[in-house]
A and B are shown apart, each in its own frame.
Chain A
Amino acid sequence: MSDLSFLPETNWRCGKCGEKLTPRITNVEYLGNTFTMELLACEKCGLVLIPEDLARGRMFEVEQLLEDK
């Protein structure tokens, strides 16, 4: 896996441990579908930050596609 990151530099820190968040390749699973994405995660506890624009944007669109009507 490349060390190149497409995420902008941020000052986000983990709310639980106070550690710096760093980009990490993460598997996101929803209704049996797995998506691989680069997200900011805590180096210590692994807590992942899902930014609001992702949650309200593409993740919401995927939810709409996969959920029942």
Chain B
Amino acid sequence: MTTNMQPFSALQRGHGSGHGTESVCPVCLKRIPARKIRRGDDVVLAKQCPEHGDFEAVVWRGRRPSFADWTNAKTPSYPERPRTQVRDGCPYDCGLCPEHQQHTCTALLEITSRCDLGCPVCFASSGEPERSDPDPATIRGWFDRVREDGGECNVQLSGGEPTMRDDLPEIIAMGRERCFGFIQLNTNGLRLAREADYARKLKNAGLSSVFLQFDGVRDATHLALRGRPLNSAKRRAVDNCLEAGLGVVLVPTVVPGVNDEELGDILSFALKAGPLLRGVHFQPVSYFGRYPAPPADENRITLPEIMAALERQTGGMVKVEDFSPPGCEHALCSFHGAFLRTENGDLRPAREAKRSCCGGPNRIEPHPAAEGARKSIGYTARQWAAPSCSCATEKPSDSLSMFLEQAQTWSFSISAMVFQDAWTLDLARLKECCIHVLSPDGRLVPFCAYNLTAADGRPLYRRRP
């Protein structure tokens, strides 16, 4: 460990358990102690494996918002039905284990491993020589298991590329029949672009929202990240969804030097698309798969940098202060901001009070994690789906009713979630994870554990093909 590293004392007040945490060795995946250490304005996660040496990776850059203040203290809510026992400890007993500290907010079902893009940045190892798709009976069993273990959570159909399956509408309907209120499709949008009537079929089957991979507004960006000029296909996919009445969320993977200067343009595109385009959800790049050398810090972008870039690239229309740490997952995993579109096409924060308030983003009093999960499930389902039509027969009688009508339609969300890889994994964060992948054998596994790979590409959980 080099001498210019100092423990970040502010962490002791800001992040509960102090600067110490645990992680894994990126080479052997054994659990090892780790520390969050300040380096100037940045914070790095540093760790040492007795066998494979020192590792560190940047997890926060900049003073605004302050790392120490970016908290949202929760008291743990343990699984009501843990499927595994604590035997080897986190992260080896996932399923969920009795020590996991947050309920399921979103359950991911990977309904195929096939994909029609071969992206270098795919976390799901899609496109490898694959297993056959799970049959409908298996997926029906998965829905039942999610209901049993995850309760009334939201569902995301993922893959691979789920639209590779011709029975996707039937799968969506299957989830609806099991009373899941919010079903989202995680897709690259190619089929939505190609088949004009496809979006309507999915909508009619009960799909709530499209989580559309959308890395930028220029072909150069798509070429760099996906190997193809996808600009017109992405726009067509958006148009077809909007025409079918489907809520759309744009999901850019943000890679330094590729599209980190394009965030404002993506937002601008989203705002011009109308009220069915419900928000933009940024995902800073993480490193899964085979990496002979540790990813350099300059290849990472952190949450505060995305907030600052949004402020800068929108000319201050959105501000860093408009964003809050999450109430559901660990504070360091994400940010979100709720906005309202104005008549001239701009955004203003839904909570005007937040800009004028002098307090930091963190809550002082811890709240039960389950309360955060419940709110997040509701917010996501309301915000990311198409706004429900106003079925009121009478005209709004006062400004509260008028506000409700307008806000339901013109609300807009900007959010980001940063996944952890073998270099950045912080087990304190993992224990609070609320995004759970259902493994083929029916266990809910926190997303970053499920996708975790050692430096040589060896997965911790994901089954090898």
Measured between beta carbons, the chain A residues less than 8 angstroms from B379 are: 64, 69
User: Who on chain B is nearest to A36 by CB?
Assistant: B399
A69 to B411 CA separation, bound complex (whole angstroms): 14
Contact A31 B378, CB 8 Å, known A6-B397, A36-B399: no
Is A59's beta carbon under 8 Å from chain B? yes
Partner of B408, one of A28, A59, A65: A65
Measured between beta carbons, the chain A residues less than 8 angstroms from B353 are: 31-32
Measured between beta carbons, the chain B residues less than 8 angstroms from A6 are: 397
Contact between chains at B356 and A32 (CB < 8 Å): yes
Is B326's beta carbon under 8 Å from chain A? yes
Is B404's beta carbon under 8 Å from chain A? yes
Measured between beta carbons, the chain B residues less than 8 angstroms from A62 are: 400, 403-404, 407
Partner of B398, one of A31, A38, A67: A38
| Contact digits for B371-412, partner A, Cβ 8 Å, 1 yes 0 no | 000011011101000000000000001111101100110010
Counting contact residues on chain B (CB < 8 A from A), the size range is 20 to 34
Measured between beta carbons, the chain A residues less than 8 angstroms from B398 are: 35-38
Contact A65 B404, CB 8 Å, known A31-B352, A32-B352, A32-B354: yes
Is A66's beta carbon under 8 Å from chain B? yes
| Contact digits for A27-65, partner B, Cβ 8 Å, 1 yes 0 no | 010011111111000000000000000000011011011
Provide the main secondary structure of the chain A interface: mixed
Measured between beta carbons, the chain A residues less than 8 angstroms from B397 are: 6
Contact between chains at B400 and A68 (CB < 8 Å): no
A58 to B375 CA separation, bound complex (whole angstroms): 18
User: Who on chain A is nearest to B373 by CB?
Assistant: A69
Measured between beta carbons, the chain A residues less than 8 angstroms from B351 are: 31-33, 66-68
Contact between chains at A65 and B336 (CB < 8 Å): no
Measured between beta carbons, the chain A residues less than 8 angstroms from B277 are: none
Contact A33 B326, CB 8 Å, known A65-B408, A68-B338: no
Contact between chains at A68 and B324 (CB < 8 Å): yes
A6 to B395 CA separation, bound complex (whole angstroms): 13
Q: Which of A6, A38, A59, A67 counts the most B-chain CB atoms under 10 A from its CB?
A: A67
Is B350's beta carbon under 8 Å from chain A? yes
Would you give the shortest CB distance from B73 to chain A, in whole angstroms? 14
Would you give the shortest CB distance from B399 to chain A, in whole angstroms? 5
Contact between chains at B350 and A66 (CB < 8 Å): yes
Contact A59 B400, CB 8 Å, known A31-B352, A65-B350: yes
Contact between chains at B356 and A33 (CB < 8 Å): no
Measured between beta carbons, the chain A residues less than 8 angstroms from B324 are: 68
Is B459's beta carbon under 8 Å from chain A? no
Would you give the shortest CB distance from A68 to chain B, in whole angstroms? 5
A59 to B375 CA separation, bound complex (whole angstroms): 17
Q: Which of B400, B401, B407 counts the most A-chain CB atoms under 10 A from its CB?
A: B400
Measured between beta carbons, the chain A residues less than 8 angstroms from B327 are: 68-69
Is B328's beta carbon under 8 Å from chain A? yes
Contact between chains at B401 and A58 (CB < 8 Å): yes
Contact between chains at A69 and B400 (CB < 8 Å): no
Contact A28 B400, CB 8 Å, known A64-B378, A69-B328, A69-B376: yes
Contact A58 B338, CB 8 Å, known A31-B353, A32-B353, A64-B382: no
User: Who on chain A is nearest to B378 by CB?
Assistant: A64
Q: Which of B375, B382, B404 counts the most A-chain CB atoms under 10 A from its CB?
A: B404
A58 to B397 CA separation, bound complex (whole angstroms): 12
Would you give the shortest CB distance from B249 to chain A, in whole angstroms? 14
Contact A37 B354, CB 8 Å, known A64-B378, A65-B408: no
Contact between chains at B375 and A69 (CB < 8 Å): yes
Partner of B404, one of A32, A36, A58, A69: A58
Given A33-B351, A66-B350, 8 more pairs with CB closer than 8 A = A31-B351, A32-B351, A32-B356, A35-B400, A62-B407, A64-B379, A66-B338, A67-B375
CB-based closest 8 A-B pairs: A32-B352, A69-B379, A32-B353, A31-B351, A35-B400, A37-B398, A35-B399, A36-B399
17 contacts between A and B (CB under 8 A): A31-B351, A31-B352, A32-B355, A33-B350, A33-B351, A35-B398, A58-B401, A58-B404, A61-B404, A62-B400, A62-B403, A67-B375, A68-B375, A69-B327, A69-B376, A69-B378, A69-B380
Chain B residues within CB distance 8 Å of chain A: 324, 326-328, 336, 338, 350-356, 375-376, 378-380, 382, 397-401, 403-404, 407-408, 411
